[in-house]
Chain A
Amino acid sequence: MNSSEIKLVLQKEINAPVETVFDAWTKPELIRQWFAPGSVMRVENAEVDKQVGGNYLIHMHDPEEKSDHIVSGTYEEIVENEKLVFNWKWKDGVDRTQVTVEFSAVDSDKTTVTLTHKGFSQQEFADKHNQGWNGCLANLEKFSIELA
């Protein structure tokens, strides 16, 4: 395989100062309040050791399906209010992928967040299948996925 790889890139503009947005990613008491997808799931526990080489753990719980989703990893790079790089591994998964979150102040009250997720392999795909994650993927027609 050559060095190029498949990655997922998403961007979001948020009406808040960059410090506030950075805090939301790095303070456990704040992570607890938003880091669960959908309206049903909730964060049971969030632990953060905010230093390079330090670990984080986020435990999400789905009360309807009575299922637990635990993700954890290690911080690889931390630049205050600018950049976070951490690896990402689901408890039941095999792969360790990598997430980069970049924070850019548009002005004093507006921040652009750019999230890059990479390092996927075929195994990760197989895992997602096993976890039954992809319930609603049948009608996929468009990708806004960057193949870089």
Chain B
Amino acid sequence: MNLTDRQLDRVFHALADTTRRQILEQVQTRELTVSEIAEAHQMSFPAITKHLGVLEEAGLLKRKKMGRKRLCRVERARLTEALNWLKVYQDYWTDQLDNLKTFVETHQRVERKKHE
């Protein structure tokens, strides 16, 4: 499934903030409560709730009720989808740098032989 422009806008807006990226990292390994996240960032509850709201709207995070607690977990699929496009460039430049290495190292051997 491809994300719509509107969804992508939300995802990129959500990712363009250090605190929100850190939150995503924190909930990668285990689900955390809102207060645990707030504590880790030394932020007020309302401030962290606002960040969580942005992440949730972007579909990057899910909050669910567990008794009195609210647990947050990452929506990995959405993150993967949104970052797929970066993978295009990652593959591109990986190929390019491989080419560069092969070319430069070969070219150099040829140049050296000429001078011998």
Cβ-defined partner of B88 (8 Å) among A5, A21, A128 = A128
Residue of B2, B21, B85, B104 most packed against chain A (CB within 10 A): B104
Chain B residues, CB < 8 A from A143: 83, 86-87, 90
Given A12-B97, A14-B104, A15-B105: A137 and B84 interface contact (C-beta under 8 Å): yes
Contact B18 A2 (CB under 8 A): yes
Main SS of the interface on chain B? helix
Scan A1-21; emit 1 where CB is below 8 A from any B CB, else 0: 110111010101011110011
Interface size class of A (residues with CB under 8 A): 35 or more
CA distance in complex: A50, B85 (Å): 30
Closest to B93 in A: A10
Cβ-defined partner of B104 (8 Å) among A8, A24, A37, A38 = A24
Contact B86 A8 (CB under 8 A): yes
CA distance in complex: A117, B90 (Å): 9
A4-B16, A8-B93, A145-B86 are known; give 16 further A-B pairs, CB within 8 A.
A1-B13, A5-B16, A6-B16, A10-B94, A12-B98, A14-B100, A16-B104, A20-B104, A24-B107, A34-B100, A126-B8, A134-B85, A134-B87, A140-B84, A145-B87, A147-B15
Could you name 13 residue pairs across A and B whose Cβ atoms are closer than 8 Å? A6-B86, A10-B94, A14-B104, A20-B104, A24-B107, A34-B99, A34-B102, A36-B99, A122-B9, A122-B12, A133-B88, A140-B80, A144-B90
Return the 4 tightest CB-CB contacts between A and B, nearest first. A34-B103, A125-B85, A12-B97, A37-B95
